[in-house]
A and B are shown apart, each in its own frame.
Chain A
């Protein structure tokens, strides 16, 4: 490996940062979740001390949770993707249309994933090659794909109730032991795999390095363009998979399918403590962020507030957490 003269190092344990400082972001998010649940359990015990609400969480969380996990990579790069709800739309349309006309689940799934990958590739090329700021590029493709769905469907929906009879339907939205929804297992699986890749794989390491210091990454021989494009392809594919899960559950494709997930997905990532400046984030943070966001709406209702509060409280939490994390980062500099 190295031909340097290595004198044996003193490998005595060295005092570094205390653990609570190293994991301050994870601790903040978990604390936020625990505080929320104390409020919920104290003020709405009949809702929050029963299993039903947790099963309904497990059904609904994965649709945007998986995308939040993938979005963590994009935000870590110092980029953003606003077009993924529209990728859900176009990939979902492809899935529904093909399933309705052929009833070949695998074919519809494969084409949907390919559509997601292609849409991601286009975003990646616009950002990495053409060098359009990602917020602008993905606003463009957001309207492009949603517009295309509207043209193709003329605003009409596609009913696909027959999908519940497909054996593969169980793989995506069945229930394990009649208790655990399959989509929740998909969400857990994705969180674990993408979480490991994020901090413990060469690819994740490159994403962190590019997001932290693009020029340094280039000097060290990391292919910045390739890393960026791959991250956009990844979220495109994940958006397509999410919408397939969703359609298996809902059995109906609307021309607006996917639209509602923009706010919740981004909120989960930012509440999870991924740095808005890039280069730093945690998958545990995003995972907990997903749980917080998902718990809010039913919590707000259970506390007796109207649903009109939901968006306001999402907005409040995003603004507060982004501010707190930014200040935490600044104070250390």
Chain B
């Protein structure tokens, strides 16, 4: 059997800020159609690592491959052109604008002279959110202002928009932060939707319970290094928590 080429490969990635090494010698593969969770304590290097993948930071050492080819992610646009898109909770949505205007912001469908094809934008937005993302709320129409949505639904709009515009790898930075239990459920369902579409995600999350439910693989970071890798099937949720604690404590002794 031929090994599939990973969508994204990091090899020996390190990043230091002055004398502080935020991440060190990271090897990581993400395959198509899988959700990889980066877990670890505050300051473990999760944020630094995803900022390297989204082109915000340049690694001090190491190589990045995308679909098997070496790439340089020199800025956010470079990552985006390849199909790596970060979804930041709420931050990229305009609350007073309609759903359809938000979906197509900066990538409008136009007819002639730059006039919007509103009928088409609304229809595509409707297909995306109801058909693909599984929005069921009857109170929301494509004419609703995004500000009238709940936190989980906003997360769904942002994820749906990234998927719709050809993102192959979606970076999710704490998508359930600040959400209620109900809303967290919605947001996690949208995250699972990424895999259902055959796309991939790197998922940073503090809350192990949220991570455990949706991720295919867990990569545990501790003080800038990868200290453990597990598949979802290998561990129960409690075992995962135990491993994290054990690995962290082992690291402190070291």
Contact = CB atoms under 8 A, between A and B. Distances in A.
B135 to A, nearest CB: 9
Contacts of B124: 1-2
Contact of B116 (A3, A205, A222, A279): A205
B138 A212 contact: no
A17 interface: yes
Q: On chain B, which size bracket covers the interface?
A: 35 or more
B186 interface: no
Interface in B158-175: 163-166
Contacts of B115: 196, 200-202
B140 interface: yes
Nearest to B116: A200
A130 interface: no
B190 to A, nearest CB: 14
A185 to B, nearest CB: 22
Interface string B130-151: 1110000011110110011000
A184 interface: no
B108 A202 contact: yes
Contact of B141 (A14, A206, A219, A220): A14
Contacts of A201: 113-116
Nearest to A213: B94
A7 interface: yes
B91 interface: yes
A330 interface: no
Contacts, number: 107
Interface stretch (B34-42, B99-107, B213-221): B99-107
Interface string A54-79: 00000000000000000000000000
A194 B193 CA distance: 40
B105 A205 contact: yes
A209 B101 contact: yes
A6 B115 CA distance: 26
A209 B94 contact: yes
B207 interface: no
A15 interface: yes
Interface residues of A, number: 39
How would you classify the secondary structure of chain A's contact residues: helix, strand, loop or mixed? loop
A216 interface: yes
A16 B141 contact: yes
A28 B133 CA distance: 37
A209 B97 contact: yes
Interface of A: 1-11, 14-17, 22, 196, 200-203, 205-206, 208-209, 212-213, 215-217, 219-222, 275, 279-280, 332-333
Interface of B: 88, 91-97, 101, 104-108, 110, 113-116, 118, 124, 126-128, 130-132, 138-141, 143-144, 147-148, 163-166, 197
Closest 6 CB pairs of A and B: A16-B141, A220-B106, A212-B94, A9-B131, A221-B106, A9-B130
Given A6-B131, A9-B127, A275-B96, 20 more contacts: A2-B124, A4-B128, A4-B164, A4-B197, A8-B131, A14-B139, A15-B138, A22-B143, A201-B113, A201-B114, A205-B101, A205-B105, A205-B116, A208-B94, A209-B94, A212-B96, A213-B93, A221-B106, A222-B105, A279-B96
11 contacts: A16-B143, A17-B143, A200-B116, A202-B110, A209-B101, A212-B94, A212-B96, A213-B95, A216-B92, A275-B96, A332-B147
